[in-house]
Structure 1
Amino acid sequence: MIHDSDPFATPESARSTVRRLRGRLAQTVTLWTAPGPAGLTVSSCLIGDGEPGRVVGLIDDESVLWEAVSSAGVFAVTLLMPGQQQLADRFAGLLPAPAGLFKQGERWLESSYGPVLGQTWAGCRLDSAKPFGWAQLVEGTIEQISLDDHELPLLHHRGSYAQIRER
């Protein structure tokens, strides 16, 4: 039998109330990468306008990405789009990547901030990090931005992907 949900997922009633609250907030799905290469799907991300622009995100401090970011001092944040759910799941560790995360068919471009896809992304310099819940609160300065014409991001809400409908 094929399940329409993860049969190994913790039942919602057994999850912490904080996790359940967080799951109710629709979040834009981003892919954070760094030289190495290393990458991680991140939906806890916020961009602050200003001169310079700033970014904050919650990163697992035991991840390969955190090791690469803390070593290189730079990272890239790529906005994922509808149709990139499998990419998001691979970098979240939910799908296998037998040949490696960066060798699964996407067209990667090299940047001084780490590998990026040819879509909207920001190159960032690491400013600081500190423990925040079960993660690291990573703060960075945006040094470079590449925008594409696609404006509808991939969203994550209550354990599933969603997308904004065009008007």
Structure 2
Amino acid sequence: MTIHSDHPFVPPEGERDPLRRLRGRLPQAVTVCTAGEGRSRTGLTVSSLVVADGDPARVLLLVDEDSDLAASLEVEEPFVVNVLGARDRSLADPFAGTAPAPGGVFRLGAWRQTPYGPVLETAVAWLGARVAVEPRQVGWPLLVEAVVEHVEIGPEAPALTHVRGRYVDLG
């Protein structure tokens, strides 16, 4: 067996899409967006998002159109954006679907149900939002626009970001 220092299926640097390479150099917060309750809970790691201040404040997400989360984000439906800290790094890949989660992703971490969806007890911060308009295709992902209805800030903790294919602890 060979151990690779890089992912064995990633094209060599010179053959990669320049736009994806540029995007990979833009540090992004690592979040897990969740919706539903009980057996209908769903979640997805999302790093492409913007929070826009205003009255009302809005959150814009780029979500994989084939994800279970995308299927649940209809107009007026609530969801949660859980901002991960460094201590929650182990949740990012299972919720992205790139690492195993025996028994399901919600067995990882401690979760509590809110009117917006599941909230990670150790999240650095979280917001509850409601989908404002029908999600639409922008490139390959769906653009989800939602109105922010609730915000909670957790205890001060190092933030987790994603840059150039790696998680980085900003603490």
TM-score normalized by the length of structure 2: 0.89
Mapping for residues 83-98 of structure 1, pairs under 5 Å: 83-98=87-102
Q: Do the aligned residues in 2 keep the contact of 1:86 with 1:95 (CA within 8 Å)?
A: no
**What is the alpha-carbon root mean square deviation over aligned residues?**
1.6
Partner amino acid for 2:15?
A: A
- Does 2:11 align with 1:10? yes
Counterpart Cα distance in 2 of 1:10 and 1:33:
32
Please identify, of 143-152 and 60-69, the stretch whose mean Cα deviation from structure 2 is larger: 143-152
Mapping for residues 24-63 of structure 1, pairs under 5 Å: 24-35=25-36, 36-63=40-67
Aligned to 1:145: 151
- Does 2:129 align with 1:124? yes
Q: What number of residue pairs does the alignment pair up?
A: 164
Counterpart Cα distance in 2 of 1:83 and 1:11:
32
Q: How far apart are residue 72 of structure 1 and its match?
A: 7.0
Structure 2 vs 1, CA of residues 71 and 2 (structure 1 numbering), >3 Å: closer, same or farther? farther
Q: Do the aligned residues in 1 keep the contact of 2:33 with 2:81 (CA within 8 Å)?
A: yes
Counterpart Cα distance in 2 of 1:86 and 1:65:
19
Counterpart Cα distance in 2 of 1:3 and 1:150:
36
The gaps in structure 2 that reach 5 residues or longer are none
Q: How far apart are residue 143 of structure 1 and its match?
A: 0.6
Percent identity for Structure 1 against Structure 2: 41
Counterpart Cα distance in 2 of 1:11 and 1:64:
31
Q: How far apart are residue 163 of structure 1 and its match?
A: 2.0
